[in-house]
Amino acid sequence: MGDPGLSKLQFAPFNSALDVGFWHELTQKKLNEYRLDETPKDIKGYYYNGDSAGLPTRLTLEFSAFDMSAPTPARCCPALGTLYNTNTLEAFKTADKKLLLEQSANEIWEAIKSGTALENPMLLNKFLLLTFAIQALQHAYDDLCQAEGVTALPYFLIKYDDNTVLVSLLKHYSDFFQGQRTKITVGVYDPCNLAQYPGWPLRNFLVLAAHRWSGSFQSVEVLCFRDRTMQGTRDVAHSIIFEVKLPEMAFSPDCPKAVGWEKNQKGGMGPRMVNLSGCMDPKRLAESSVDLNLKLMCWRLVPTLDLDKVVSVKCLLLGAGTLGCNVARTLMGWGVRHVTFVDNAKISYSNPVRQPLYEFEDCLAGGKPKALAAAERLQKIFPGVNASGFNMSIPMPGHPVNFSDVTLEQARRDVEQLEQLIESHDVIFLLMDTRESRWLPAVIAASKRKLVINAALGFDTFVVMRHGLKKPKQQGAGDLCPSHLMAPADLGSSLFANIPGYKLGCYFCNDVVAPGDSTRDRTLDQQCTVSRPGLAVIAGALAVELMVSVLQHPEGGYAIASSSDDRMNEPPTSLGLVPHQIRGFLSRFDNVLPVSLAFDKCTACSPKIWDMSDEETV
């Protein structure tokens, strides 16, 4: 190449073409699999030699780049690479690009010296991808390095014999070119469209040729094979052929200087930024972003957190008022996708300031039904949630219904609808204004063995509790719970410790009289739930957190109840304690965790009530 009469051979570098699907898959891998792992990952791309004239030489990475066994698209050559994904922007900026390039170059050089590149030509061409994914902003910084070119069967030997073209693999070069001493002909699968220059894959092959063959051949003839289809006709006429004089470097021990970092959009040596927000489905973006905070918990803080148990749970919210709105928002924060509201009230002018799912326009024209408006607002906040609302009344003890046929039929339909809703959901939240309105749902949920979370407010006090989850119907009173872990707890049950979930009381177990009309002969301030404004937010959040803690426990609703005495002990779940009740006192900014046994004469969960419910005589 030192001959002044010869032209200097130049190459067209690759342009990275990273599909949106690649970034989405990288996001999922980072959140769910890689997390804080920064070790290099194998990836795969491909390039094509049939692009139309004027298009750049492209190295393409798609969603399948992380599956090394995935098939390469037809008539495309695979390219193996390495992904370096950093955890911080600073690590991305300070990464030693030169060192990464040299490491990759040395790997290729060792393959050339050992001859393994002849057996596996894919070792000649590798690419590096250095990235830092900023998931919350939906941006990705990437620094794409083609340390050498690309790979596969794109390299082949050519020999002309009696008007016939013979081809062979590189590893057969000794036998294929036996007797030739001047030059040989090789073919390269060329992704470049430039009329005078070959593409990047030829670079490392020429190093291989010079290192292995310069002692035997003075030059090599190169056919840059380009194959495209235009208007239904296959065309290879734009392929180019030229001769390259091989330099003297036979068995040189030193690795040649490596180049290959792709320039950014400004033509400089810097990172490239890709903004995907304009080309991805907004609903998919929202779904990924909603789960981001939850999945980040699993990286380091709570690696054993089982998010699937939370996300897949179906929640029925009985009451769409102040508590219902706050519970719903917290459920969405935990990624719950199925929320159903039940309420018979309409939105009034006093509601929007305390109930975050409503606004002023919802109060006009008499007010929208709360349950329907709440479900509609959840879907506007996050389209991925399956939210529905039922505008219906719940029959209550102490509130007699009119004995007309129409009224009785409506009451029956309401009870049937309530039973169906409780049957089709996993967790039932009791969030109504009055005590008696919680009775019928508590009875039905107990008979159907559903987890019930109850929340109730005073002026500056609240109670959040889980109802005891009764044993399956096929088990007798003396049988153990489904898990053998319940046996020791059962033996040690007391009023203060080791009470298993099936022995816990419900909201009505401490009552000495049956529930009745709690609003009769009450003044306005006694009829309405008058509480400090922050109380519902606190109680609603604790209700959801209690549900999540129960779901994370291996015993679920049968988990032994934690009490205030357990605060210094080893927590039973990765999220901490699993109490029976949380009673809060805002005036003292204090919470206690009492535990109470079920009452065998309870008006809601006693065995006699179960039997009546099972016989459909409630």
pLDDT in tens, 500-524: 999 999 999 988 776 766 666 555 4
pLDDT at 299 over 90: no
More confident residue, 211 or 386: 386
Selection from 187, 203, 200, 173 nearest residue 236 by Cα: 187
Q: Is a pLDDT exceeding 80 seen at residue 181?
A: no
Q: What is the average pLDDT across 77-85?
A: 86
Residues 6+ apart with CB under 8 A from 23: 133, 140, 274, 276
Q: Which of 298, 509, 528, 602 is catalytic?
A: 528
Structure token digits, residue 263: 């320039």
**Token duo for residue 249:** 């470097």
Q: Are 219 and 182 a contacting pair, CB within 8 Å?
A: yes
pLDDT value for 528: 54
Taking residues 52-79, report their average pLDDT.
82
Query: Which residue is associated with the tokens 């390219």?
Result: 79
Cβ proximity of 24 and 61 under 8 Å: no
Q: Which amino acid is at 385?
A: V
Q: Could you give the CA distance from residue 149 to residue 205 in angstroms, rounded to a whole number?
A: 9
pTM of the model: 0.67
Amino acid at 287: E
Q: In 3-state terms, what secondary structure has residue 599?
A: coil
User: Does the pLDDT of residue 438 top 80, yes or no?
Assistant: yes
- Average pLDDT value for residue range 482-505: 60
Q: What confidence category does residue 113 fall into, taking pLDDT thresholds of 50, 70 and 90?
A: confident
Cα separations (Å) of 236 from 56, 190, 228, 241, 587? Answer: 18, 11, 7, 12, 84
DSSP H/E element including 235: strand 233-235
Q: Identify residue 107 by its one-letter amino acid code.
A: E
pLDDT number for residue 367: 92
Question: What percentage of residues in the chain have a pLDDT greater than 70?
Answer: 79
Give the pLDDT mean for 440-454.
93
CA dihedral 351, 354, 357, 360 (to 10 degrees): 50
Q: How many Å apart are CA 290 and CA 31, to the nearest integer? A: 12
Task: Give the model confidence (pLDDT) of 4-54 as tens digits.
Answer: 667 777 777 777 777 777 877 887 787 778 777 888 899 988 888 777 777
pLDDT classification of 562: cutoffs 50, 70, 90:
very high
Q: Using CA atoms, how far apart are residues 538 and 134, in angstroms rounded to an integer? A: 32
- 53: tokens are 């004239």
Short-list 205, 188, 181, 110, CA closest to 153: 188
Which residue bears the tokens 């780049």? 65
Contact 220, 206 (CB under 8 A): yes
Lowest-confidence region among 34-38, 102-106, 375-379, 553-557:
34-38
Predicted local confidence at residue 583, as pLDDT: 96
> Which 8-state DSSP code applies to residue 51?
P
Task: Name the token pair of 146.
Answer: 């083609």
How high is the pLDDT of residue 546? 97
- For the chain, how big is the Rg over CA atoms in Å? 36
- With cut-offs at 50, 70 and 90, classify the pLDDT of residue 526: very low
Cβ–Cβ < 8 Å for 279, 22 = no
Distance between CA atoms of residues 446 and 153, nearest Å: 67
219 vs 591 pLDDT, higher one? 591
Q: Which domains does the chain have, with CATH numbers?
A: 1-282 (3.40.140.70), 304-614 (3.40.50.720)
Q: Mean pLDDT highest for which of 64-73, 453-462, 466-475?
A: 453-462
- Residue 494 pLDDT > 50: no
What confidence score (pLDDT) does residue 230 get?
A: 67
Return the pLDDT at 613.
65
User: What mean pLDDT comes out for the span 171-179?
Assistant: 76
Concerning whether 145 is annotated as a catalytic residue, the answer is no
Question: Which pLDDT belongs to residue 452?
Answer: 97
pLDDT of residue 150: 38
- Mean pLDDT of all residues in the chain? 80
Q: What is the mean pLDDT of residues 352-358?
A: 94
Cα–Cα distance measured from residue 317 to residue 312, given in angstroms and rounded to the nearest whole number: 16
What is the enclosing helix (H) or strand (E) of 596? none
Long-range contacts, stretch 214-218, CB < 8 angstroms, 24+ apart: 214/246, 214/247, 214/248, 214/249, 214/250, 215/250, 215/251, 216/181, 217/180, 217/181, 217/182, 217/183, 217/184, 217/246, 218/182, 218/183, 218/245, 218/246
89 has pLDDT over 70: no
- The string of DSSP codes covering 300-348 is TT-TT--HHHHHT-EEEEE--SHHHHHHHHHHHHTT--EEEEEE--B--
- Whether pLDDT at 79 is above 60: yes
Average pLDDT estimate for 409-436:
93
Q: Residue 72 has what pLDDT? A: 83
